[in-house]
Structures are given as structure tokens and as C-alpha cells.
Amino acid sequence: MKGYYFDNIAATKVDKEVIKAMLPYFDTYYAMPSSQFSHQPGIFITDKIEQARKNIAHFINADKDEIIFTSGETESNNLAIKGVARANKKRGNHIITVKNEHRSVLNSFKTLEKEGFDVTYLDVDGEGSVDLQQIKDSIRDNTILLSVALVDQVVGTIQPIAEIGKLIKEKQVIFHTNATYGLGYLPLDVKKMGVDLLTISGDKAHAPKGIGVLYKRKDININRIFDGNFNEFYIRPGIENVPGIIGFSKAVDLLKHNENTIEKINELRDILIDKLLTIGDSVLNGSRTKRVANNVNITFYKVEGESVMLHLDMNGISVTTGSACFSRSLEPDYVLSSMGFDHERIHGSIRYSLSKYNTKEEVEYVSEKTKKIIKRLREISPL
Amino acid sequence: MKNQQNQPPSLIDVIGKSCPYPLIEMRRAILSANDGDFLIIKGDHEKSFSEIQMGAESMSCEIIEKTIDKNGVWIIKILVKK
């Protein structure tokens, strides 16, 4: 059966050029980077890592010494939030984030809460947007950290990061953004965005799993969260994931000048949304206009999201649902809950996420198949 | 791989399990089965009776037999085609 992969927010196909760039770093150039003081293969590897660091830094308008390689989104967020809050505790103990953030952000804040930090969890509106005035009002004299994602992973709402950056410029608040779900779709310029810390992850942008970056502005104090050796400016110990770093750098190369690709994905997204909304009793979740190019999230009422997802899968279509039965906690998706949605709207939600590899023919097939499945499910098991 | 040995059908017992688990377990069984295998799915969740048939057909399987007794226990026999 042909596969129709529409779960690209979870993971993307690694680009062939990325694989090609990585391969020599498994069997030819495999020395440990820290061995640069011992032997020439170590020097070679260190030089390649530094080139990759420079390339990624340039991509987000940062300096190369501001790029810390990590294992991905979760580690970058943990390091940014815990590392910075703990290092700056003397200045204050109030920290702020948003209720619809990625689990790695929210759970880092919860850990800090247990350590004595005072946390404000900001609300979002029905489209998943934060309110600038609410951010402004929540900042106190003892606020040291604010974390707001550029794009959320469930409905793809784009937050006004640059505006927030301007809003808090005069305050002594360190600003972190998880830009993982905007990488490849939105311009990432840390200076224009006004952020001090930025997370990106390779697996969402056609690089392999297990490689991420934390951008940390030079003068921001941070504590390491792992103990070990002196790697990554003494901030992130452990042998560097050399093939991953090379692959991420190549993936970033492929994201440069990709306006046509984004336009194509935007177009596919809009076609898919329009076609799916012709199904009766359906509603788009998230914003129509402030929406990342690859996200489609729709609730089909009077059917169970998990049933729709399973039947799509049995037809070769990979998607995901916010329905409770598929979360380990058996609770409905917290991001959709934070938007004020009732149980029925969350329960029937399906997320389709696109990439450069999806085609118009696939979108046609997926929308037609969805229509048939919803129709039949409503006939055989009406809610 | 074709089932050459006329093995007896595998039983997938989903009695007491509600949606979506009967469907999930049938999907797993079909993926592990060989072409020509027979599977018997036995359950009592009312909605799943129809959904199992719909799912099996989507996965190119043939419904050979289906019964439902007065207590709501249903049995569906399917032929796996790959």
C-alpha cells in the first residue's frame, strides 16, 4: 500500500543530500572532536563542526559562539529554561510561559516551580494566540525569564515573537523562544526577533533525529544541566553528535532560499483545509491567517478522532489526533484545552502536517479518503 | 509470505475492550499475518462490530463470516490478503 505521510510535525523524512553529507562521518571521519589536541583526525572533525556551527549561526543571524549543539528540542528547551533560571536566580524568581507550550517547556517550568520559582502560565485565546497586554501585565520587578514558542505544535499558530521582543526590551527579562515548529517556514533572525535564547531541532526540518541547537546570546548566564566534560563551551558536556551536526548544517543549507517550497506547502495546506471543510460539521482549529505553512488541524464532529485516525492509517494515511485515548495520560490534548475547546471539539480533532515531499495528488487523495471515512463512520457509529 | 500450512485461524479476543482497542489489535494482527491467513476477532463492543469490518476491508482483507449473539458478543472471521 502506498503511504501518505501527513505527520511531518512529528518527524520529517531525512533529505537524501543530508544523508549523503552525513555518511562519511560514520566510517571515514569518526574521530572524537575533543581529540583535536591528540591527533589530526580530531582536528579535521573539529574544523567541520566549527564550519557547521558558523553556518547555522549565520542562518539565524547569530555568532558562532552562540550556538550550542544538543540532542534536540527537548534538551534545548530544558537547558534554556532550567539553565538560565537557575543561573539568574539571584536577580529574581519569577518566570513566565504559556499554557500551550511544548511539554519539554511546561515540564521544565514545573520542575522549577518545585524548586521554589514562582511561575505564571499565560492564557491563549481561541486561536492559540497570546495577548501582548497580558504579557506586559504579568512582568514584575523580579521576573527573569519569559518563554513563548514561535509556533505551537498542535494548531500551528504563529506568535508575534518580534513584538514581544520589543515589548520586553527595556525589562531585564531573558526571552526564550522554541522555534522548532517554525524552522524552514518562518524567517529566524534572533536580532530582529529580540530573543536571547532560541531552540531549533533537526528532525522537523529533514535532518535526522537526535540533533538540535540552542542559541544563547553571549552575555546570558546559564548553568549546565548535565555534568561531564568541557564540550560546547562547558555548557553541554558529552561527545558531539558529529554526523547529526553535519546533517543539520546541510539541512539548513537546503532551507536557504526555499521561498518557492514554502509557497507550495502553503498552497497545499490551503487546498487541504478548503477540501476538508466541505465535510459537514467540521471546523478549523487555530488561526486561518496566523498559521504556519504545514499545519492543518480540523475537528470533525460526531465522530471519534481516534477512529478517524485509525481508519486513515488503514488506508495508508498517517495523521494524528488530539483525542484522549491516544494520550498516555488519557486526557484530551492540553493545547486544544488551553484554547477553551470543549471535549467534543478536542475529541474529533485530526492534525495533518505537510512537508516538501507531499504533492497535490496526495492532498486530493487524503481529502477524498477522509470524506469517505467520516461519512461511513457517521453512518455506522453515530455519536 | 503465503500461508502454506493451513494453520488454524488466530484468535484476537477483545471481549471487554472498547473503541479504539479492538481496531488497534486487529490492525496489529493483520500486519503480522501472512497472505492467506485467517483471523478471528471476538468482541462485545457494539460500535467495533462495524468498524472492524470497515477496517479489515480497508486493509484489503475479506470478511468470511460474521455473527452476533443475543448477548452482543460478535465474531468476525477474516481472510488476510497481501
Domain ranges of chain B: 10-79
Residue A192 within a domain? yes
Mean pLDDT (chain A) is 95
Q: Among A232, A255, A278, where does a domain finish? A: A255
Mean pLDDT confidence for A306-329: 85
CATH no. for residue A275?
3.90.1150.10
Instruction: Indicate if A127 and A243 belong to the same structural domain.
Output: yes
CATH no. for residue A62?
3.40.640.10
Instruction: Give chain A's length.
Output: 383
- Inter-chain CB proximity A314 and B19 less than 8 Å: no
Query: Does the pLDDT of residue B4 top 60, yes or no?
Result: no
Summarize pLDDT for A230-270 with one digit per residue, the tens: 899 999 999 999 999 999 999 999 999 899 999 999 999 99
Residue A2 within a domain? no
Residue A6 within a domain? no
Q: With cut-offs at 50, 70 and 90, classify the pLDDT of residue A164.
A: very high
Instruction: Indicate if A217 and A290 belong to the same structural domain.
Output: no
Residue A318 within a domain? yes
Instruction: Indicate if A236 and A273 belong to the same structural domain.
Output: no
Q: Among A217, A232, A255, where does a domain finish? A: A255
- Inter-chain CB proximity A376 and B54 less than 8 Å: yes
| Centroid of chain to Cα B49 | 10
Query: Does the pLDDT of residue A50 top 90, yes or no?
Result: yes
Rounded CA separation A378/B52 (Å):
15
Q: With cut-offs at 50, 70 and 90, classify the pLDDT of residue A36.
A: confident
Rounded CA separation A158/A186 (Å):
9
Query: Does the pLDDT of residue A382 top 90, yes or no?
Result: no
Instruction: Indicate if A182 and A276 belong to the same structural domain.
Output: no
- The residue of chain A nearest to residue B61, with distances taken between CA atoms, is A314
- CATH code 3.30.110.40 for B10-79: yes
> In the annotation, is A325 catalytic?
yes
Residue A132 within a domain? yes
Residue A3 within a domain? no
Among B23, B47, B60, beta carbon nearest to A310: B23
Name the nearest CA neighbour of A229 among A35, A71, A50.
A35
Q: What is the DSSP letter of A291?
A: B
Looking at the 3D structure of chain A, how many domains does it have?
Answer: 2
Instruction: Indicate if A130 and A78 belong to the same structural domain.
Output: yes
Query: Does the pLDDT of residue B2 top 70, yes or no?
Result: no
Among B27, B47, B50, beta carbon nearest to A310: B27
Summarize pLDDT for A130-141 with one digit per residue, the tens: 999 999 999 999
The burial class, CB within 10 Å (0-12 / 13-18 / 19+), for B58 is buried
- In this predicted structure, what is the pLDDT of residue A330? 58
Query: Does the pLDDT of residue B3 top 60, yes or no?
Result: no
Summarize pLDDT for A191-236 with one digit per residue, the tens: 999 999 999 999 999 999 999 999 999 999 999 999 998 899 999 9
- Calculate the alpha carbon distances from A90 to A50, A246, A318 in Å: 34, 38, 48
Question: Mutate which of A325, A381, A383 to disrupt the B interface (most B C-beta within 10 Å)?
Answer: A381
Summarize pLDDT for B20-38 with one digit per residue, the tens: 899 999 999 999 999 999 9
Query: Does the pLDDT of residue B16 top 80, yes or no?
Result: yes
Summarize pLDDT for A277-310 with one digit per residue, the tens: 999 999 999 999 999 999 999 999 999 999 999 9
Name the nearest CA neighbour of A191 among A151, A161, A223.
A161
For residue B47, the distance in angstroms to the closest alpha carbon of chain A comes to 6
Cell of B27: 490492525
Instruction: Indicate if A280 and A243 belong to the same structural domain.
Output: no
Q: Complex ipTM, two decimals?
A: 0.89
- Calculate the alpha carbon distances from B54 to A314, A347, B21, B38 in Å: 10, 21, 15, 17
Instruction: Indicate if A235 and A306 belong to the same structural domain.
Output: no
- In this predicted structure, what is the pLDDT of residue B82? 87
For residue A46, the distance in angstroms to the closest alpha carbon of chain B comes to 45
- In this predicted structure, what is the pLDDT of residue A322? 83
Among the listed ranges A86-90, A275-279, A333-337, which one has the minimum average pLDDT value? A333-337
Instruction: Indicate if A201 and A313 belong to the same structural domain.
Output: no
Instruction: Indicate if A41 and A95 belong to the same structural domain.
Output: yes
Instruction: Indicate if A138 and A157 belong to the same structural domain.
Output: yes
Query: Does the pLDDT of residue A324 top 80, yes or no?
Result: no
Mean pLDDT confidence for A82-102: 97
Q: Among A255, A288, A323, where does a domain finish? A: A255
- In this predicted structure, what is the pLDDT of residue A323? 75
Q: With cut-offs at 50, 70 and 90, classify the pLDDT of residue A53.
A: very high
Instruction: Indicate if A221 and A329 belong to the same structural domain.
Output: no
Which one is catalytic: A23, A239, A314, A325?
A325
Residue-range definition of the domain harbouring residue A280 = 258-380
Instruction: Indicate if A99 and A62 belong to the same structural domain.
Output: yes
- Inter-chain CB proximity B23 and A315 less than 8 Å: no
